[in-house]
């Protein structure tokens, strides 16, 4: 992501290794610039033994020919290449360069890390705003840190704008208030603490709106979270959980949509990924609902209660000469039977006949329910038992 210190990190590496540092912008540089840097690096290495580190900023903007021009000099050690990009390097950088490199992913700065930078800028008289008699309210700094999206450059620019646009008071001090910070960020503060009640209350309202099939409310609560600076990955993770927990087999496509939104967020990033998140939220809210996947926890309760149970012999693995021990003996291969189904015991003897999964009646799960009812009825008839009542046989 932008503003996380990619260029600064490259300069630190150059200083720490006592290497000559050259920076190229992929936006304004071409093959001729690369050749010039290479020629100088060769002369420098031959004359003084000093290595050259070249930082190519926005390397994804180099076309294939430009990236190819770097390859031989990276291979022979003439250049130590550091490529900085806000895109996925596995898609935007040629394979030979990636395979000869180590990829490090820098994360957006946290709110607390941005606050440290802002306070340092207020105190630094040489490179910051320390020469100005500034007084910044804590809520103003937090507003900037929360809404900068982890981008230090955005935060520092906003702080500078607030400082230079605010007249001094009668005491000669420039006070940066929340109102001033809102104007600098061009966004109004709302009551939202990512570690407090507002965080949990808002995500709760969002999930309950999805569960209640209200797309309008779901969009509102999601918009509030994103506007307030909530990590969008947190929101999309909750949608992925919701897709299985509350939509489930009523619409299996819901999980695909939610996971796709997560991938889109990773590839596209905000603000454009808001479209992807909104699409997923609307889909989940309007999808038919089922919480039948919670059947897993009934099975888990039996696992905890029963402890170790023996796998029925006909279900045991018959590979690696285990068939000679009777493993897999009597197993009926369903594909050898009409309808690709045959009555057979799959649960342990101690849990024979137990039913965990109770299918819903909405969407795709209606078809599942009908098919499963046929299987269960056929099993009961073959055993000379009445058809199972799902609601009554799921408990011990």
| Model confidence at 394: pLDDT above 60 | no
Domain final residue pick, 286, 320, 345:
286
Residues 383 and 306 in one domain: yes
CATH code assigned at 307: 1.10.3710.10
Q: Which domain holds residue 117?
A: 111-185
On whether residue 280 sits in a domain, the answer given is yes
On whether residue 293 sits in a domain, the answer given is no
Instruction: Give me the pLDDT at residue 292, please.
Output: 94
pTM: 0.56
pLDDT in tens, 179-208: 888 888 876 555 555 656 678 889 999 999
Instruction: Give me the pLDDT at residue 252, please.
Output: 95
On whether residue 297 sits in a domain, the answer given is no
Residues 67 and 142 in one domain: no
Domain final residue pick, 74, 99, 124:
99
Domain final residue pick, 99, 124, 159:
99
Looking at 287-364, list the stretches that DSSP marks H as alpha helix, in order from N- to C-terminal side: 295-306
Mean pLDDT to the nearest integer, 210-235 = 92
| Model confidence at 392: pLDDT above 50 | no
pLDDT in tens, 134-172: 889 999 999 899 888 788 988 999 999 888 888 888 888
Residues 13 and 91 in one domain: yes
On whether residue 46 sits in a domain, the answer given is yes
Residues 32 and 83 in one domain: yes
Residue with more model confidence, 115 or 130: 115
CA-nearest of 19, 75, 21, 92 to 50 is 19
Is the separation of the CB atoms in 59 and 83 below 8 Å?
A: yes
- Residue 60 per-residue DSSP state: G
Residues 266 and 226 in one domain: yes
pLDDT in tens, 37-70: 999 999 999 999 999 999 999 899 899 999 999 9
Instruction: Give me the pLDDT at residue 114, please.
Output: 93
Residue with more model confidence, 170 or 72: 72
How many distinct structural domains can be found in the chain? 4
The residues facing 79 across adjacent strands are: 52
DSSP letters, 214-227, are: -HHHHHHHHHHHHH
Calpha distance 71→100 (Å, rounded): 9
On whether residue 93 sits in a domain, the answer given is yes
């Amino acid at each position: 992501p932008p503003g996380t210190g990619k260029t600064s990190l490259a300069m630190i590496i150059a200083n720490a290794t006592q290497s000559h540092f050259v920076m190229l912008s992929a936006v304004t540089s071409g093959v001729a610039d690369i050749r010039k840097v290479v020629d100088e690096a060769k002369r420098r290495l031959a004359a003084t033994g000093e290595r050259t580190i070249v930082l190519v900023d926005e390397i994804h903007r180099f076309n294939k020919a430009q990236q190819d021009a770097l390859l031989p000099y990276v291979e022979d050690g003439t250049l130590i290449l550091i490529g900085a990009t806000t895109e996925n390097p596995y898609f935007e950088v040629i394979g030979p360069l990636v395979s000869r490199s180590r990829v490090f992913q820098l994360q957006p700065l946290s709110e607390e890390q941005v606050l440290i930078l802002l306070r340092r800028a207020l105190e630094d008289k040489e490179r910051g705003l320390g020469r100005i008699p500034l007084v910044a309210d804590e809520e103003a700094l937090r507003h900037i840190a929360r809404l900068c999206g982890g981008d230090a450059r955005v935060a520092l620019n906003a702080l500078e704008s607030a400082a230079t646009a605010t007249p001094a008071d009668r005491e000669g001090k420039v006070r940066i208030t929340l109102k001033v910070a809102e104007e600098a960020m061009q966004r109004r503060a709302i009551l939202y603490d990512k570690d407090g009640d507002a965080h949990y209350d808002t995500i709760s309202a969002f999930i309950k709106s999805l569960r209640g099939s209200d797309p309008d409310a779901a969009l509102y609560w999601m918009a509030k979270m994103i506007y307030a600076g909530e990590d969008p990955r947190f929101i999309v993770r909750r949608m992925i959980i919701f897709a299985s927990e509350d939509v489930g087999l009523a619409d299996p496509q819901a999980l695909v949509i939610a996971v796709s939104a997560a991938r889109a967020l990773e590839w596209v990033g905000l603000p454009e990924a808001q479209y992807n998140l909104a699409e997923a939220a609307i889909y989940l809210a309007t999808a038919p609902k089922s919480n039948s996947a919670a059947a897993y926890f009934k099975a888990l309760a039996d696992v905890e209660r029963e402890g170790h149970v023996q796998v029925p012999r006909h279900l045991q693995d018959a590979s690696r000469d285990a068939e000679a021990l009777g493993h897999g003996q009597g197993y009926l291969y369903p594909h050898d039977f009409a309808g690709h189904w045959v009555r057979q015991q799959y649960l342990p003897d101690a849990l024979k006949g137990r039913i965990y999964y109770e299918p819903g009646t909405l969407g795709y799960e209606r078809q599942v329910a009908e098919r499963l009812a046929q299987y269960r009825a056929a099993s009961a008839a073959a055993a000379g038992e009445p058809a199972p009542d799902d609601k009554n046989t799921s408990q011990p």
